[in-house]
Amino acid sequence: MSGHSTYQPKTGIERWLDARLPIVRLGYDSFVDYPTPRNLNYWWTFGGILSLCLASQLITGIILVMHYTPSADHAFASVEHIMRDVNYGWLIRYMHANGASMFFIAVYVHMLRGLYYGSYKAPREVLWILGCVIYLLMMATAFMGYVLPWGQMSFHGAVVITNLFGALPIVGPSITTWLWGGFAVDNATLNRFFSLHYLLPFMIAGVVILHIWALHVVGQNNPTGVEPKSKADTLPFTPYATVKDGFAMSVFLILFATFVFYLPNALGHADNYVEANPLVTPAHIVPEWYFLPFYAILRAVPDKLMGVLAMFGAIACLFALPWLDTSKVRSMRYRPTAKLYFIIFVVACCILGLCGAKLPDDPVLGHFKTFTLGDADLNSFVWLSRFASLYYFAFFLVILPVLGLVEKTLPVPDSIASPALSHPAAAPEQATAAPEMKG
Amino acid sequence: MNPSADTLALASTEFDLTKVADGQQVTLKWRGKPLFVRNRTPAEIQKAVADDGAAMKDPQKDADRVKPGKAQWLVLIGSCTHLGCVPTFGGGDYGGWFCPCHGSHYDTSGRIRKGPAPLNLAVPEYEFLSDTKVKIG
Ligand code: FES
């Protein structure tokens, strides 16, 4: 796609097909001959890992549907039927359920990598936004999928999330009724979520194709953030990237398998093995781990509508990121101050995740009370989540815009292949040895 | 994707009040949501009336939340006005209900007193068919 195609059809059949549908050529240009920057580190392997996750979710999901019954009366029992009676049903279901978590682990790493190396900056804005769309679709899919087993957590999670939309003025109540298909979360809700849960992954696959297309138009970013300038800066995708991606996938699969075979329920909630009961809410209701930071932001705000807006705003910040960051330097490798704020940002996200899992009024340290500030004690998770949320928004809305204008950056190399030669100021041996270890 | 006709038809239900012991509550399912029918003790009623003047998010008199002469019976939609969880009976700082999801406290009249919920627990449309029978919806 970038540059000239070097594909040479060798056999008669290939020549025949190439003249009619150059699909082999497309594959060759995209995944064999495609030039990748020579200095990509392992953080760049998560794109491949994510494709693997999507494929695994699709395959296991399609098999699960063959045995699942989408009805409020039978859904819970049919999941137990899958676990006990279906051949390798336990394996398929555990792969699907833990696969969702793995998918999110990979997507968060992938996003943070983009954030750190400035992969959202011109000309990659559309590439970044398509990625954000995929992330949004993933969240919707994961949420609806979690409802399908119709356990207590499924049910009351669905109640809480659908009610979030009810907070919006004017349209809110209609949206909620529309999602429910009735007066409350019930059979109609389960059926429409099932339908959408089957549809959305294929939409994700479609956007992934656009994402890869956009990637191949603008080319990959790399740890230096400098565009490849000559042949010396790139390597062909095969074998270099394929082998590296393959290795990273294998390592990732070890982690995946560890969860599936040894800790299959570690990331879930015991309450979801209790069938849904609309009349009793479990005492401690929390979403799946990958939503916890956003859940914490929601609870940090005492007002219902503002809480919902803050939560959606947290995601909207990602979409606006290409225009919020004003820095001319792409990679944070050459932005020492930004790097520091980035690390604090990652810590803040983890803190938010922790806060989302705890009860808001529980003390953070020990069991003592300090003094009451506003509606809660200062030594409580709700205040911790307020500070972390504040930092989350400040990072996007204040730090990145302002820092780009005032920051003193380190010298950026002229090209990927020769960072040391042209810039004696940048420590030469570190710059050449770094690509594999840094970041 | 709006509700189908048979879903909308699940509109009303009748309930026999003798099933609720003094000071207790029965939870039934109405339109897919929990419905609380609470038989309040005189002390609970008194507490609710005494608080009529207190600072509240959604001020309302206790008398406006029950049928005249039937202050003992409190009929409420049992879904938290925050995000719809089911509050637990008798919990919280005000002895009414406590919502475990994000910590909303309701008093013995079902009014929101503390926490993120914006409104009091809703009173559905209902009427007394006799002294011991109500029709809800
Ligand atoms: S749903 Fe009751 S406090 Fe949030």
Q: For residue A153, which of A282, A315, A24, A8 has the smallest C-alpha distance?
A: A282
Ordered alpha helix ranges (H), chain B? 5-8, 42-50
Q: For residue A256, which of A59, A83, A100, A51 has the smallest C-alpha distance?
A: A100
User: Given CB atoms, is A346 within the 8 Å cutoff of chain B?
Assistant: no
Residue of B30 and A360 predicted with greater confidence? B30
Q: What percent of chain B has pLDDT over 90?
A: 45
Distance separating alpha carbons of residues A260 and A88, to the nearest angstrom: 12
Q: Are strands B112-114 and A372-373 parallel, antiparallel or unpaired?
A: unpaired
- Ligand 1 mutation target, pool B82, B97, B106, most atoms within 8 A of CB: B82
pTM: 0.89
The closest-lying atom of ligand 1 relative to the alpha carbon of residue B104 is 3
Q: Can you tell me the mean pLDDT for B68-91?
A: 90
Q: Residue A428: what pLDDT? A: 44
The closest-lying atom of ligand 1 relative to the alpha carbon of residue A163 is 1
Q: Is A4 annotated as a binding residue?
A: no
DSSP state of A303: S
Q: Do A181 and B27 touch (CB under 8 A)?
A: no
Distance separating alpha carbons of residues A164 and A305, to the nearest angstrom: 8
Q: Is A216 annotated as a binding residue?
A: yes
Distance separating alpha carbons of residues A36 and A199, to the nearest angstrom: 33
What are the counts of helices (DSSP H) followed by strands (DSSP E) for chain B? 2, 10
Q: Please name the residue of chain B whose CA is at the shortest distance from the CA of residue A376.
A: B115
Q: Which residues of B are catalytic?
A: 102
Q: Residue A286: what pLDDT? A: 87
Task: Report ipTM for this prediction.
Answer: 0.83
What is the CB-side half-sphere exposure of residue B94 using CA atoms within 13 A? Answer: 27
Q: Residue A121: what pLDDT? A: 95
- Residues of chain A where predicted confidence (pLDDT) is lower than 50: 1-2, 421-422, 424, 426-439
Residues of chain B in Cβ contact (below 8 Å) with chain A: 1-4, 7, 10, 27, 29, 31-34, 78-79, 82-88, 99-103, 114, 116-118
A217 CA from centroid of ligand 1 (Å): 47
DSSP state of A275: B
Residues near A235 by beta carbon (within 8 Å), at least 6 away in sequence: A35, A36, A37, A38, A241
Q: For residue A431, which of A333, A290, A329, A302 has the smallest C-alpha distance?
A: A333
Q: Is residue B3 predicted with pLDDT exceeding 90? A: no
Q: Supply the residue whose CA is at minimum distance from atom 1 of ligand 1.
A: B83
B112 CA from centroid of ligand 1 (Å): 11
Q: Residue A108: what pLDDT? A: 97
Position B36 confidence tier, pLDDT thresholds 50, 70, 90:
very high
pLDDT tens digits, residue range B92-129? 889 899 988 888 899 999 999 988 888 999 999 899 99
Q: Which residues of A310-346 are buried (b: 16+ CB within 10 A; e: fewer)?
A: bbebbeebbbebbebbebebbbbbbbeebeebbeebe
Q: Residue A431: what pLDDT? A: 43
Q: Angle A187-218/A172-180 helices, nearest 10 degrees?
A: 110
Distance separating alpha carbons of residues A397 and A70, to the nearest angstrom: 43
Q: Please name the residue of chain A whose CA is at the shortest distance from the CA of residue B115.
A: A302
Q: Residue A3: what pLDDT? A: 56
Q: Residue B10: what pLDDT? A: 65
Q: Can you tell me the mean pLDDT for B25-47?
A: 90
